Amino acid sequence: ISHHLVKAFESLFGSVTCLPGCFCMYRIRTANKRQPLIVAPAVIHGYSDNQVDTLHKKNLLHLGEDRYLTTLMMKNFPQYKMMFTPYAKCRTVAPDEWSVLLSQRRR
């Protein structure tokens, strides 16, 4: 319930700051002009950074990659909104081993 409330509140302002894993869907290109969004060079360049030389970068790139991607999207496309759609449906493959589940819950 809290996840829905927080994301719905953020969505009011058009800036949902973190859409984790199976809860997200991104538009690859704009619907009308076919402008690249998630595949835009600036987003790809920013998201492809893999030099982890500080604790901040480790947390950003290894533990918060979903938050970092939404940050890059909002930074490079301020004219668009990141929206939460509570009635959307998704499917995922759940871990079948306890150790795998725990490794995904490292935050």
In the beta sheet, which residues pair with residue 82?
15
**Token duo for residue 50:** 């893999």
Six-digit token pair at 107?
A: 């935050």
pLDDT at 23: 60
Kindly tell me if the per-residue pLDDT of 47 is higher than 70.
Answer: yes
> What pLDDT does 30 receive?
82
Q: What is the pLDDT of residue 19?
A: 62
Amino acid at 79: Q
Q: Which domain holds residue 45?
A: 2-104
Mean pLDDT value across the chain: 78
Joined together, the tokens standing for residue 18 give 């973190």
Average pLDDT over residues 66-79: 84
The mean pLDDT value for 40-61 works out to: 85
Rounded to two decimals, the pTM is: 0.64
Mean pLDDT of 14-33: 70
**Count of domains in the chain?**
1
Mean pLDDT for 39-46 is 88
Averaged over 54-78, what is the pLDDT?
81
Whole-number pLDDT of residue 107 = 53
- Stronger pLDDT, 90 or 42, i.e. the higher one: 42
Helix (H, G, I), strand (E, B) or coil at 36: strand
